[in-house]
Amino acid sequence: MKNLFFFIFLSASLISCKNDAKSNNVDEEAEMTSEEKMPKNPTTAESIAYANGFENWDDVSKISFTFNVDRGDQHFERSWMWMPKKDKVKMVSEKDTVNYLRTKMDSTLQKTDAGFINDKYWLLAPFNLMWDEGATFSEKKNVIAPISKDTLNQLTVVYSNDGGYTPGDAYDLYFGNDYKIKEWIYRKGNDSVATMATTWENYKNHNGLEIATMHKDSTGGFKLYFTDISVKK
């Protein structure tokens, strides 16, 4: 099976990957309560991130998960362990096990790291709204969601053409009054036509992080989901 399919949502979002956990070592933030960490007048992007528990991220020392994709009778999976404070990553697939530090990568690790960025983006996209640099945002109220046809609000994220694995991509996030993402559209290269649309559903709380564990397309023939999620502080 070609791996390209599983990278269709590979995001340009982590243009500055070193910034993923950039606030983890700030002593002042570590001493703040969850309520104190939340902005008083949040932007929409901030509201989405905090609705998913972003105020708890600084306490996370390790997060593990298995990324699964079903398409028809084909199944693909790989598991990850990430220690964000050290930016240490472990990947386990059917054929390989790889351990590496994202601060000390060479060209032989680029494909593995591209998979990590892709899978982690699906898992923690609301947090990337806070982490990513080089992104622009625009909003619309009361729009029709692509799959459910519900009336929701829309936040569009467009990444710059510089850096990242697939620069220039765009995402349309559809969310309700609770600021939880219900659906999204991925548009490769900021194309006007959707590359793919999926649901965001089956949210589960893992040690303070709200994670959507299931994503489906409009036919139900494509499912991307997470199992074996563990968040340790």
Residues in the chain predicted with pLDDT less than 50, given as ranges, are 1-27, 29-30
Q: Average per-residue pLDDT in the chain? A: 86
Q: What is the pLDDT of residue 40?
A: 83
Q: What is the pLDDT of residue 77?
A: 97
Strand 181-187 vs strand 196-199: parallel, antiparallel, or unpaired? Answer: antiparallel
pLDDT > 70: what percent of the chain? 82
Half-sphere exposure of residue 2: CA atoms within 13 angstroms, side-chain side: 4
Burial grade of 211 (CB within 10 A; 0-12, 13-18, 19 or more): buried
Q: What is the pLDDT of residue 104?
A: 92
Q: What is the pLDDT of residue 97?
A: 96
- Could you give the CA distance from residue 38 to residue 130 in angstroms, rounded to a whole number? 12
Q: What is the pLDDT of residue 13?
A: 36
Q: What is the pLDDT of residue 164?
A: 59
Q: What is the pLDDT of residue 133?
A: 86
Q: What is the pLDDT of residue 24?
A: 46
Q: What is the pLDDT of residue 36?
A: 65
